[in-house]
Amino acid sequence: MRGTAVTFEGVSKRFGSVVALDDFSLRIEPGEFVTLLGASGSGKSTALNIIAGFSDATSGDVRIGNRSVLGVPSEGRNVGMVFQNFALFPHMSVAENVAFPLRMRKVGRAEIDERVQRALDMVRLGGFAARKPAALSGGQRQRVALARAVVFEPPVLLMDECLSALDLKLREELQEEIRRIHDQIGATSIFVTHDQGEALTMSDRVAVLAGGRIEQIDRPDVLYDRPATRFVADFIGRTNLIEAEPVAGGLRIPGIDTVLPAAPGQRVISLRPERIARASHLTDADKITFSARLEQSSFQGATVDHQVRLANGTELTLREGRSGAFTPLQPGAEVALAFRRQDAVILADR
Ligand SMILES: Nc1ncnc2c1ncn2[C@@H]1O[C@H](COP(=O)(O)OP(=O)(O)OP(=O)(O)O)[C@@H](O)[C@H]1O
Ligand SMILES: [Mg+2]
């Protein structure tokens, strides 16, 4: 099976005076795994519901493949769905639950049995066919829901916060499993979450939504390393957002003696905590060094976060790994620190 493209073209959705989607345009390529990431109320579910046919766009067009699906009922769209509270039928066995979409499509008995078994094997529940949902763990139930969503080989698979009710370990396990199944079946997957770690690990591309619009859509590493806006820099991971001072030739970080080239209108510098290091650990010729006083350190397990303060009062956080060469720092200590010029991301102030 091969996934089909999904396209939003200038889609707006209003609920009375609330604008849930605002001139939203996005093309998801066949077989791609795209995650919609955003805070509560940013329009993620609204976008998914419009593809699923549970909700109509106020304006704009939505296409699955080359075909506009405006006015096409949900059943006619051939889309697989897994939602957080998309309950299994409690009176049916696991196998009957998974068989349901095939029965609706009038698939023959023998083929149903074979495809149900294959789908259950895929989610590693091959031995659970006869169980009732009540006799399954939360993670197993979610896997049955996934098997039911993919059993009819939909070209498009929609998942809305389908892991958020599970504990961390199980969630991480299922993240890998969903990605593996996606790769195996080749469907176009659209995944919704407000968990950025989940979005970054699972996706080919992540769309960051805010106020019903896409702030930025990019590969996870690009989103993290090269955020396009202050909002995205702040939303994805942790960062130091520094209000810089416009000077001749660019921007100066208060308290650090260097000028970074910048375009007009750029006022803010994003510098990830792990991109700041002790000066002696950075061998780059082009590094920018500065001195700071340690305020406090907080232990994270694999890493330690240090809060430091520059002579002019600017506060920064740096993150160090605790492998081999790591030595703790004492509060009050004056430390020589550095970062690479290219690790400072210069942003417009919005
Ligand atoms: N049926 C509705 N009637 C009125 N307003 C709605 C309706 N559905 C959604 N909204 C509003 O539209 C906006 C977007 O909602 P949506 O459910 O898409 O957000 P979301 O990003 O999925 O949030 P969450 O992470 O909380 O699930 C919100 O302001 C919400 O209150
Ligand atoms: Mg939602």
* Atom 17, ligand 1: residue with shortest CA distance: 45
Q: Which residues surround ligand 2, an ion (CB under 5 A)?
A: 45
Predicted confidence at residue 167, as pLDDT, reads 84
- 45 CB near ligand 1 (under 6 Å): yes
- Give residue-wise pLDDT tens across range 262-289: 888 889 999 999 999 999 988 888 899 9
pLDDT score at 329: 87
Residues 192-236 have pLDDT tens digits of: 999 999 999 999 999 999 999 999 999 999 999 999 999 999 999
> What is the pLDDT, as a whole number, of residue 86?
67
Ligand 1 close to Cβ of residue 54 (< 6 A): no
Structural domain range at position 151: 6-231
Evaluate whether residue 286 is within a structural domain.
Answer: yes
223 shares a domain with 305: no
Mean pLDDT in residue range 38-60? 96
Residue 46, ligand 1, Cβ within 6 A: yes
For 58, counting Cβ atoms within 10 Å of its Cβ (0-12 exposed, 13-18 middle, 19+ buried), the class is middle
CATH code of the domain covering residue 72: 3.40.50.300
Q: Do 79 and 218 sit in the same domain of this protein?
A: yes
Is 321 in the same domain as 185?
no
For residues 43 and 257, which has the higher predicted lDDT (pLDDT)?
43
Question: Ligand 1, atom 22: nearest CA belongs to which residue?
Answer: 45
Nearest CA to ligand 1 atom 27: 40
Percentage, residues of the chain above pLDDT 70: 99
Ligand positioned closest to the Cα atom of 160? 2
Beta carbon of 83 within 6 Å of any ligand 1 atom: no
Q: Is residue 127 part of a domain?
A: yes
Query: What is the percent of the chain with per-residue pLDDT over 90, rounded to a whole number?
Result: 79
pTM for the model stands at: 0.91
Residues 197 and 224 in one domain: yes
Across the range 118-130, mean pLDDT stands at 92
Task: Give the residue-averaged pLDDT of 70-80.
Answer: 92
Find the 16 Cα to ligand 1 centroid distance in Å. 12
Q: What is the pLDDT of residue 248?
A: 87
| Shortest-distance ligand to the CA of residue 55 | 1
Please indicate whether residue 131, judged by its CB atom, sits closer than 6 Å to ligand 1.
Answer: no
The CA 68 to ligand 2 mean position distance, Å, reads 24
